[in-house]
């Protein structure tokens, strides 16, 4: 198997080293170079030929935004994952970076102890690097393990650190990737034969309790690879779409308002971040706020959005399962459920429940998914009626919504 090669660009030597430890501690990932600013990065890309770039925003000489502009001008296609600060200004810049061609972003660790908080984002770093870098590497002829191989390793490391905490070991060993992680990896090179990959299962057949009816609402669940995939869908959505659309995109708190505004700029329908207690109206797209579950609530005067901070489900808040569960219960066979690119299985079980209730359902296909996780499990559980390529997803949604329009 080949390694996914990573180039890190950050003006902080501490940050470069901490993130480098995380990546170099995972078999199948390799830091091939580090840069101090955007200009330094431009100079090093031809030398190191990375599969993915981790890029800071605020840097001297050339910042992340200016790098992305120059990257576009030069036609560099290596995927870029931004390291973003959790501030109002940081959120706006992060979304601007997506507009300029960045693939995604990770909230940058900070606070009083970066070495401790870096462990909090280690899962995201490994997930995003393996997903975007793996997709790019595979397109360029490399043989790359599937994303679950990398996440399996991160889960083992988390378990090890949990045990260290229980034993009362020093906090540094329990919370941060250490040099020993890297040494262990070097001693045991990547060998996927030692790991039991999840085998593709034969899809279960779900027998709907009722025929599909008129579509009153569309619900979409998406995760890794979602920001740009949603752009692709909503730029081509039918401007005459009557049904409301509710979207759960796994995204941290503080970023979804800016993300909704960016989608509103390209979508012919109105797009906003959902608010607790607002009535669901036609021809409107609602984005679940980061940090809140979004569900549909039936009231005497109609159907409304309810936001909660209940415990995460499937490791997420907002959770796709929470949205799909409420849609299945209230709309039954009068809904369309769509599950798209993403790591894990969030949304899969309740998409199957939607299908059982008679709802129409679509799933993104493997070839066009950055991570074929959520749509894969959704398909295996019998929740997906039809698998659709990303470039055809808007058309498929438009057609179903038009053919089964209520009233």
Residues labelled as active-site residues = 223, 250, 346
The sign of the CA dihedral 165, 169, 172, 178 is: negative
**On the CB side of 89, how many CA atoms lie within 13 Å of its CA?**
2
- 217 by Cβ neighbours in 10 Å (0-12 / 13-18 / 19+) ranks as buried
Query: What is the number of other CB atoms lying within 10 angstroms of the CB of residue 197?
Result: 12
By residue count, the chain amounts to: 407
Hey, what are 18's tokens?
Answer: 């901490």
- Contacts for 63-69 with beta carbons within 8 Å, 24 or more apart? 63/37, 63/38, 64/9, 64/38, 64/93, 64/97, 65/93, 65/96, 65/97, 65/100, 66/38, 67/9, 67/38, 67/39, 67/41, 67/42, 68/97, 68/100, 68/101, 68/102, 69/100
If you search the block for the tokens 């470069």, which residue do you land on?
16
Question: What is the rounded distance in angstroms from the CA atom of residue 221 to the CA atom of residue 233?
Answer: 13
Buried b (16+ CB within 10 A) or exposed e, 284-298: bbbbbbbbbbbbbee
CA angle 12, 17, 23 (to 5 degrees): 125
Q: How far is CA 27 from the centre of its chain?
A: 22
399 and 368 in contact (C-beta within 8 Å)? no
Q: How far is CA 177 from the centre of its chain?
A: 23
269 and 285 in contact (C-beta within 8 Å)? yes
Question: What is the rounded distance in angstroms from the CA atom of residue 26 to the CA atom of residue 21?
Answer: 9
If you search the block for the tokens 């390529």, which residue do you land on?
389
Question: What is the rounded distance in angstroms from the CA atom of residue 305 to the CA atom of residue 298?
Answer: 9
Q: What is the largest CA-CA distance in the chain?
A: 66
């Amino acid at each position: 198997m080949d390694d996914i090669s990573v180039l890190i660009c950050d003006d902080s030597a501490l940050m470069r080293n901490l993130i480098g430890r995380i990546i170099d501690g995972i078999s199948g990932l390799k830091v091939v170079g580090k840069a101090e600013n955007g200009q330094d990065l431009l100079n090093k890309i031809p030398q190191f030929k990375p599969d993915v770039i981790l890029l800071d925003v605020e840097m001297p000489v050339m910042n992340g935004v200016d790098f992305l502009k120059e990257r576009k001008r030069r036609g560099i296609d290596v995927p870029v994952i931004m390291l973003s600060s959790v501030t109002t200004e940081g959120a706006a810049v992060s979304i601007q970076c997506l507009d300029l061609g960045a693939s995604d972003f990770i909230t940058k660790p900070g606070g009083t102890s970066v070495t401790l908080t870096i462990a909090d984002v280690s899962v995201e770093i490994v997930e995003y690097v393996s997903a975007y870098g793996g997709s790019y590497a595979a397109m360029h002829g490399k043989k790359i393990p599937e994303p679950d191989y990398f996440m399996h390793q991160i889960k083992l490391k988390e378990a090890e650190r949990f045990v260290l905490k229980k034993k009362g070991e020093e906090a540094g060993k329990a919370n941060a990737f250490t040099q020993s992680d890297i040494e262990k990896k070097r001693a045991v090179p990547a060998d996927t034969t030692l790991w039991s990959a999840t085998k593709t299962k034969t899809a279960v057949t779900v027998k709907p309790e009722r025929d599909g009816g008129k579509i009153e609402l569309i619900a979409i669940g998406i995760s890794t690879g979602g920001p740009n995939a949603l752009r692709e869908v909503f730029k081509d959505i039918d401007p005459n779409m009557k049904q409301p659309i509710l979207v759960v995109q796994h995204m941290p708190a503080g970023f979804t308002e800016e993300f909704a505004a960016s989608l509103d700029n390209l979508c012919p329908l109105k797009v906003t971040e959902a608010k607790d207690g607002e009535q669901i109206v036609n021809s409107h797209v609602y984005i679940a706020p980061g940090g809140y579950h979004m569900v549909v609530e039936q009231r005497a005067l109609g159907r409304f959005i309810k936001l909660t901070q209940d415990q995460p489900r499937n490791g997420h808040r907002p959770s796709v399962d929470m949205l799909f569960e409420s849609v299945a219960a209230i709309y039954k066979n009068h809904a369309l459920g769509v599950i798209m690119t993403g790591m894990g299985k969030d949304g899969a079980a309740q998409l199957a429940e939607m299908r059982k209730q008679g709802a129409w359902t679509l799933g993104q296909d493997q070839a066009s998914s950055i991570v074929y996780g959520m749509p894969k499990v959704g398909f295996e559980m019998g929740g997906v009626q039809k698998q659709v390529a990303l470039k055809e997803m808007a058309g498929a949604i438009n057609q179903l919504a038009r053919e089964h329009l209520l009233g």
